[in-house]
A and B are shown apart, each in its own frame.
Chain A
Amino acid sequence: MTPSLSPLPPRRTFADREDLLGAVMLGPALAYVILLVGVPFAFAIALGFSNATAGSLSFGWAGLDNYVAILGDPIFLRALRNSVIVTVGSQVLVVVLATAAAQVFRATFWGKRFARFVLLLPWAVPVSLAAIAWTWIFDSTFSVINWTLKAAGLLHGWLYWLGDPALALLAIIIVQAWRIFPFATVIVLAGLSSIPQEIVEAAIVDGAGFWRRLFRVELPLLLPVVAVAVLFGVVYTATDLGVVYILTGGGPANTTHVLPTLAFQRGILGADLGQGAAIAVFLLPFLIVVAIGMLRLAHRTEVGGAR
């Protein structure tokens, strides 16, 4: 027998076996994702092709019937349109607000820590709670916005925020933007701090003013980061149920539904599981295309990436 040279065990222990260790440590997370995201997701896709209803266990193959039905449904088409408007509208707002806020937070000023804490609040507040607060802001009688405008002499009539389809959609966009923009600001701020200080100074010395620096130097360099922020925002907004459900419930007269609320109404409240699933799944291919596009853009414009 060869004498042992070290007090360490001569064989590989479990901790040495990175292949096994990795698999074991990833296992729980993988199981969680598969069971709680993957299975319902696959189930939803399957339901979309069925005539299943809530309250019965029958599962009949319906082919594309559900999709044909919703594509012929004006309420669905309106919801689809609303989804696009809300998502695009809120993200445009988010990009502008987040870029502006990031510029502010880059400067050093008194009370910056507190301001940053306040900034992050909308992101930390539960959606339902925030949406309820917003229903008060948009209330038909007590709306702070209306009373403020009135007191400032800027408003002569009265705005029925959640009663008018167009205004209700605008209200939804505002709340969605308000909810996402703190997160986007943090991302943009991180992106800004990754721009070398010397490049910004070179632009200053080269005679570029604030706007030229912003649009010709900083924003192009920020593009990959902003793309990621927008991607998150698009996914969060397009799949969000809470804000619309609490603010308008899809009303007035089904004019402000977005796909998630309509899917909930049809599938759960209306018990037509098949159609609800079809509506919910409908957006998926579009989101995938958007995601791939955004990530490619981010990669392509990344400094040092292939162009």
Chain B
Amino acid sequence: MAFPMRMRANIEGDAVVVRVLMTHPEETGLLKDKAGQVIPAHFIQSVTCKSGDKTVLTCDWGTAISKNPFLEFRFKGGKTGDKVTVSWIDNKGDTSTADTTVS
């Protein structure tokens, strides 16, 4: 399964604001399908956000994050043209990575 991501990084004031929209079903493992079978949990557990090679933020997420997760974060010390990378890993070991440049 492919998990594309959309992201944008802009300078606002003295910080870089990054907004990311991920594609993920975010199943809690509490729901049942129409046949009464429990839908297994499938959700993002860990997100790593980097500016260049430097990690600026890591997130640990539970099942309560909405489907197709949105994340907004800010960091200092970025400038136009810097590369920002966001990657995640879910409870099934699936991963996805996306990057953009600060504008």
Verify that A and B bind, or say they do not: no
Residue positions of B touching A, CB distance < 8 A = none
Residue positions of A touching B, CB distance < 8 A = none
